[in-house]
Chains A and B, each alone.
Chain A
Amino acid sequence: AQSVTQLDSQVPVFEEAPVELRCNYSSSVSVYLFWYVQYPNQGLQLLLKYLSGSTLVKSINGFEAEFNKSQTSFHLRKPSVHISDTAEYFCAVRPDSWGKLQFGAGTQVVVTP
């Protein structure tokens, strides 16, 4: 079985400041890792994913996440946030042999001027 822990339920941040959202997972098998974003009144969208290869993955809008196998973490970072980054962010894992995603509880990011 797998579990996903997002350590912060809410992260307030000022515009143009950096942000880090923490995600730790536990699993008895190797997993694929994902970050999804849910903007207000919208559906879940894939932000970025780690499947294999380079442990640092990046999105088109400036987010990046690094897979750390020894620490079983997949933290999400952005060096400078915009107001439009206000959203809820979900970390998820997908085991090798199954199609389902297991999500963390989510981190609400609120960006203020």
Chain B
Amino acid sequence: GAGVSQTPSNKVTEKGKYVELRCDPISGHTALYWYRQSLGQGPEFLIYFQGTGAADDSGLPNDRFFAVRPEGSVSTLKIQRTERGDSAVYLCASSPTGTRDNEQFFGPGTRLTVL
């Protein structure tokens, strides 16, 4: 079956621009996670959705970052007024539910470069 997909695979933008990153989770998975992986680091948690609602957004670094999941499936991570420090690989993962013993399946990521 299809895994988690993310589009675009690469995004280059200029400082100050707005970007949207899309995640298509595995069909039927109710939990969806966004992580950010900077060069030489492990992934860092950003936000977790259970269904349509954000169950935990404590990892969003500031109010320039926002994510939605309006129908409980596809999610979009939105970054306003991008900064060079936002350059990273943005990873999306989904799991059947959010309970602790459910494996998270990761997408290939979107590499964001802010010039």
Contact = CB atoms under 8 A, between A and B. Distances in A.
Asked whether A and B interact, the reply is: yes
Interface of A: 4, 6, 9, 32, 36, 42-46, 49, 51, 90, 92, 94-106
Contacts of B91: 43-44
B56 A98 contact: yes
Contacts of B101: 32, 51
Contact of A105 (B33, B42, B106): B42
Interface stretch (B10-18, B43-51, B62-70): B43-51
A36 B106 CA distance: 10
Interface string B70-107: 00000000000000000000010101001111111011
User: Looking at chain B's contact residues, is the secondary structure mostly helix, strand, loop, or mixed?
Assistant: loop
Interface residues of B, number: 29
A51 B103 CA distance: 11
A105 to B, nearest CB: 5
B100 A99 contact: yes
A45 B106 contact: yes
Contacts of B41: 105-106
Given A51-B101, A105-B40, A105-B42, A99 B109 contact: no
Nearest to A91: B42
Given A44-B43, A103-B42, A105-B40, A49 B33 contact: no
A106 B35 CA distance: 15
A4 to B, nearest CB: 8
B108 A43 contact: yes
Given A32-B100, A44-B91, A99 B48 contact: yes
